[in-house]
C-alpha cells in the first residue's frame, strides 16, 4: 500500500468538486484506490509509506475518448476543409502510409509521447486498417504503462483501394490482436472500430458486431458529425430511420460499451436510441470548429441521461490537451446558452472536469475518480509558477485548466504506477 498526500480534487458527482485540502489518498498494491481522507488515522493504513506532494494538487488523470493516432503527422494542418474533402485530400493519403510498419512505429511513438505529455493516461484510439501497425501502437502503449482501447479500423467501401480490406481479412486481423491483447483486465485492449457507415458495407458492419459480441469488446465510431455525411448515410441506408438507427440495426449501438464521436446533429429519436443503448458521446469541440461541423448539444445529452466524455479528435482537432478541450466545451455550451435564449444552462467547470475524468473514464472501467475501487490514475499538478498563494485550491485548479499547460504536470500515474516518458 502507498499513501499520497496533497490537495486532492475529483468529481464524484458532476455538479460539484470533492476537495480534500492537505488530504491523503491510499492506494493498494493492485493500483486501486482504497480511500481518501483528511487525516491518516481514519485511513487505517498502518505504517504504509507516505509520499508527500506538499502544496501540489492531486487530480484524476485525463481520458481522451476519441483520437486518431495515424493522423499525428497532420496535426495543425489542413484546416481549410469540411469533413468529406478533408478525409479524401489529407486523411486517407496519410493513413495509407501506415502499411509501412517503420513509419507506423515512428509516428505512433511520437503520438504516445504527446498523450503522456498532456496528462492523458487513457485513450480510445483509431489506428488504421493495418494489423501490424496497430499491433505496434498497442505495444507502445503497453511499454509506456498507459491505458488504451486501440482500434484497427474497418473500411471496405468509399475509400482508396489501398485502405480497403474485406470483412474476412478484418476479422482475421482482429483475432490476431485479440489473441495477444484480449484479456479483459489488460490496460491495452482492442476496440471494434468501423470507421463510419459510409466506409463500411453491410457485410463489414455485421462482421464488426459479431467480433464485438463474441469477444465482449467495446465499439467506437463516428455519428451525425456533418450534414453532408448524414445525407450520404440516408442514401446508403434507406431502410434505417437515421444514422444511429443504422448502427443499431447492425448491432453496433450497445449493449457493448459504445462511444460515438461528435453527435452534433443527433435529433430526439437518435438521442433516445443512444440513451437506451447506453451509448457514450465523445464530445470533440475543437474538431467541430475546425471542420465546421457545428455545436454538439451537450447540455441536452446530459439532461436526457446520455453519458458524455471529451475527445481531442486529433487531427480534425488540433489540440491534444483535454484541459483545453474542457475550456472549449464550456465555451460551446455558452453559445448554446445564448442561442437558446438562456434556456440551456452552460456547462460549469465541475461538469467539464467530470466529463474529462469520471464520465470519459467509465469507458475504461472504474477510472477517473478517487472513490474506493477506482484505478489510481492521477496527475500531480505543480502550479507554483501561476502565483497560487492568493487563491483557493479550486481557483488554483481553474487557473491551471484555463492558463496552465503540460509544464505544470509534475507526475503521472496510471493504475497506481508512475508513468515515465517513453
Ligand atoms: Zn474522428
Rounded to an integer, what distance in angstroms lies between the CA atom of residue 127 and that of residue 58?
A: 31
CA of 191 to the centre of ligand 1 (A): 14
Pairing of strands 258-262, 279-283: parallel
In this prediction, residues 1-15 reach a mean pLDDT of 97
Rounded to an integer, what distance in angstroms lies between the CA atom of residue 219 and that of residue 288?
A: 21
pTM of this structure: 0.98
Place of cell 475543437: 286
CA of 52 to the centre of ligand 1 (A): 40
In this prediction, residues 80-96 reach a mean pLDDT of 91
What are residue 54's phi and psi, to 5 degrees? 60, -125
CA of 67 to the centre of ligand 1 (A): 6
Give the pLDDT score at 284: 98
CA of 215 to the centre of ligand 1 (A): 24
What residues form DSSP beta bridges with 52?
A: 5
Per residue in 353-379, pLDDT (tens digit) is 999 999 999 999 999 999 999 999 999
**Residue 79 binned pLDDT confidence (cut-offs 50, 70, 90):** confident
Rounded to an integer, what distance in angstroms lies between the CA atom of residue 100 and that of residue 123?
A: 24
The three grid cell numbers given for residue 249, joined into one nine-digit string: 440495426
- The environment of the single-atom ion ligand 1, i.e. residues with CB closer than 5 A, is 261, 313
Angle between helical axes of 322-339 and 393-403 (0-180°, round to 10): 90
CA of 315 to the centre of ligand 1 (A): 8
Number of H helices, E strands in the chain: 15, 17
- pLDDT at residue 187 tops 90: yes
What are the start-end ranges of the E strands in 224-374?
258-262, 279-283, 308-310
- pLDDT at residue 386 tops 90: yes
**Residue 321 binned pLDDT confidence (cut-offs 50, 70, 90):** very high
Q: What angle do CA 52, 405, 69 make, to 5 degrees?
A: 110
CA of 222 to the centre of ligand 1 (A): 6
CA of 66 to the centre of ligand 1 (A): 6
Beta carbons within 8 Å of 42's beta carbon, 6+ residues apart? none
CA of 196 to the centre of ligand 1 (A): 9
Mean per-residue pLDDT over the chain, rounded:
97
In this prediction, residues 114-119 reach a mean pLDDT of 98
Query: Which helix H or strand E contains 56, and what residues bound it?
Result: strand 49-60
Closest CA to 226 of 286, 157, 295, 170: 295
Amino acid at each position: 500500500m502507498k499513501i499520497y498526500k496533497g490537495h486532492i480534487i475529483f468529481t464524484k458527482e458532476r455538479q460539484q468538486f470533492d476537495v480534500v485540502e492537505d488530504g491523503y489518498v491510499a492506494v493498494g498494491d493492485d493500483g486501486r484506490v482504497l480511500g481518501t481522507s483528511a487525516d491518516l488515522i481514519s485511513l487505517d493504513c498502518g505504517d504504509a509509506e507516505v509520499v508527500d506532494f506538499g502544496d501540489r494538487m492531486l487530480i484524476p488523470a485525463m481520458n481522451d475518448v476519441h483520437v486518431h493516432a495515424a493522423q499525428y503527422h497532420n496535426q495543425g494542418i489542413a484546416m481549410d476543409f469540411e469533413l468529406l474533402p478533408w478525409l479524401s485530400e489529407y486523411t486517407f493519403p496519410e493513413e495509407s502510409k501506415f502499411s509501412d510498419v517503420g513509419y507506423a512505429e515512428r509516428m505512433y511513438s511520437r503520438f504516445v509521447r504527446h498523450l503522456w505529455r498532456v496528462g492523458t493516461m487513457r485513450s480510445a484510439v483509431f489506428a488504421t486498417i493495418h494489423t501490424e501497425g496497430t499491433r505496434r501502437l498497442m505495444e507502445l502503449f503497453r511499454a509506456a504503462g498507459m491505458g488504451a482501447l486501440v482500434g484497427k479500423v474497418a473500411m471496405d467501401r468509399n475509400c482508396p483501394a489501398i485502405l480497403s480490406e474485406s470483412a474476412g481479412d478484418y476479422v482475421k486481423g482482429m483475432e490476431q490482436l485479440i489473441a495477444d491483447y484480449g484479456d479483459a483486465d489488460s490496460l491495452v485492449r482492442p476496440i471494434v472500430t468501423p470507421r463510419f457507415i459510409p466506409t463500411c458495407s453491410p457485410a463489414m458492419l455485421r462482421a464488426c458486431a459479431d467480433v464485438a459480441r463474441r469477444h465482449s469488446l467495446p465499439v467506437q465510431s463516428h455519428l451525425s458529425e456533418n450534414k453532408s455525411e448524414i445525407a450520404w448515410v440516408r442514401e446508403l441506408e434507406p431502410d434505417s430511420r437515421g444514422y444511429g438507427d443504422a448502427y443499431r440495426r447492425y448491432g453496433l449501438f450497445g449493449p457493448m460499451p459504445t462511444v460515438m464521436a461528435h453527435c452534433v446533429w443527433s435529433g430526439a429519436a437518435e438521442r433516445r436510441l443512444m440513451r437506451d443503448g447506453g451509448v457514450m458521446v465523445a464530445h470533440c469541440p475543437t474538431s467541430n470548429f475546425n471542420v465546421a461541423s457545428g455545436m454538439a448539444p451537450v447540455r441536452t445529452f446530459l439532461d436526457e441521461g446520455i453519458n458524455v466524455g471529451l475527445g481531442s479528435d486529433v487531427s480534425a482537432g488540433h489540440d491534444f490537451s483535454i484541459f483545453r478541450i474542457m475550456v472549449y466545451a464550456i465555451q460551446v455550451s455558452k453559445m448554446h446558452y445564448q442561442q437558446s435564449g438562456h434556456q440551456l444552462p452552460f456547462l460549469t467547470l465541475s461538469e467539464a472536469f467530470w466529463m474529462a475524468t469520471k464520465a470519459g473514464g467509465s469507458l475504461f472501467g472504474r477510472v477517473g475518480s478517487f472513490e474506493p475501487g477506482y484505478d489510481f490514475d492521477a496527475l500531480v499538478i505543480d502550479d507554483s509558477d501561476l502565483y497560487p498563494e492568493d487563491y483557493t485550491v479550486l481557483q488554483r485548479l481553474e487557473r491551471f485548466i484555463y492558463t496552465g499547460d503540460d509544464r505544470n504536470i509534475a507526475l503521472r500515474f496510471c493504475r497506481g504506477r508512475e508513468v515515465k516518458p517513453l
